[in-house]
Amino acid sequence: MNTKNPNLHKQGVQDSGLVPEPVKLVLILVLLLLVAYLFYDNARTKRANEAQLTQMADQIRRIENNSKIGEATLTNQISVLKTDIQDTQITTKAELRKTAAQIQAEGQKTKRELSMALSSKADASHVEAQVNAVKNEAESKIGEVSNEVGGVKTEVVEVKNELLIARRDLEGTQRQLLDVRDALTAAVAKNSEELNQLRLKGERDYFEFTIPKKKEPIRVEDVRIELTKTDHKKGKFNLRIYVDDSKLEKKDILVNEPIQFLVGRYLVRYEIVVNWVQKNKIGGYLSIPKDKMLSAERTM
């Protein structure tokens, strides 16, 4: 007769049952943690994107403000120049009237002297010499006045030409500011992926760096960089850049704002971009043209 073991029968029932409650709780806790992490990561990415957009808008507003300041300065200079021209014209007219009055008075005096000479029956040759002398003097003064008037006209024409040139320069400066704004927006890498895309163009070399706040500068290729101040809440920082025998001070620079400077005897344009700012540390890259001879801004 076959006899079944009660313990074996009880174990078989437990093995064929559902998942134990502790395992379920662990699985549910893991899923909740995953969902919470996904929400947190999404919010953090959104805040980072908004901060970058705000910084780009600040850069554009700064360029536009510089353009408006330059335009206002030039407008003031043109206004002052116009005022000077008007004052010069007024002064010149007054001088011409004064000179004409003097010539007229001397002419009347000459007539009186001539009448007196004739009435006293002076020597005819002597009278003629006096008349010729007075005549020559009057003609000389009239010639001087004509030259002065011609000089004033020439100055007015030159001032008008300078105004036209200044206006063309202002228009060119405004176009350059727009071109610079577009170029800066397109040529600055804000992360490693964008930096790799710039490297693929093959026009410049890019050297990434991380610089802590120390009393000694850190060498990056052929320049040295010293971090002097950080404001990680506002995304700002101060730098000292040691180039050749010079020291450049850069203050209140924003994240992803390009810092350009000239290096070497032939003025090759380097560029520094800082992508992130922490409490006592920054990170970014140094950009150098591959062909320094071709990129030089001074003839080699």
| DSSP category for residue 226 | E
Give the full edge-to-edge strand order of the sheet including 223-231: 218-220, 223-231, 236-243, 246-254
What would the two tokens of residue 148 be? 């002065």
Nearest to 59 by CA among 236, 227, 281, 191: 236
Q: Any idea what the Cα angle at residue 253 is, between residues 291 and 286, rounded to 5°?
A: 25
- Locate all alpha helices (DSSP H) within the chain, ordered by sequence: 6-15, 21-119, 124-187, 192-201, 292-295
268 close to 184: Cβ distance less than 8 angstroms = no
- Least confident stretch, 102-106, 145-149, 247-251: 145-149
Tell me the per-residue pLDDT of 109-119, one tens digit each, with 9 for 90 and over.
Answer: 777 776 675 56
The whole-number average pLDDT for the span 83-99 is 75
Give the full edge-to-edge strand order of the sheet including 268-277: 204-212, 281-289, 268-277, 259-263
CATH of domain 192-295: 2.60.98
Tell me the per-residue pLDDT of 31-40, one tens digit each, with 9 for 90 and over.
Answer: 899 888 888 8
Tell me the per-residue pLDDT of 60-69, one tens digit each, with 9 for 90 and over.
Answer: 788 778 777 8
Give the integer Cα–Cα distance in Å for 236 and 215: 19
Location of structure tokens 């600040």: 58
Residue 284: CA count within 13 A, CB half-sphere:
26
What would the two tokens of residue 168 be? 């063309």
Helix axes 124-187, 21-119, angle to 10 degrees: 180
Tell me the per-residue pLDDT of 183-241, one tens digit each, with 9 for 90 and over.
Answer: 544 578 898 899 999 999 989 999 999 999 988 999 999 999 999 999 999 999 999 99
Can you say how many angstroms the Cα of residue 183 is from the centroid of all Cα atoms in its chain?
A: 13
The whole-number average pLDDT for the span 279-298 is 91
- Least confident stretch, 39-48, 81-90, 189-198, 284-293: 81-90
Give the integer Cα–Cα distance in Å for 203 and 188: 14
How does the average pLDDT of the chain come out, rounded?
A: 80
Main-chain phi, psi angles of 120, to 5 degrees? -85, 5
Please give the pLDDT value at position 114. Answer: 65
The whole-number average pLDDT for the span 168-186 is 57
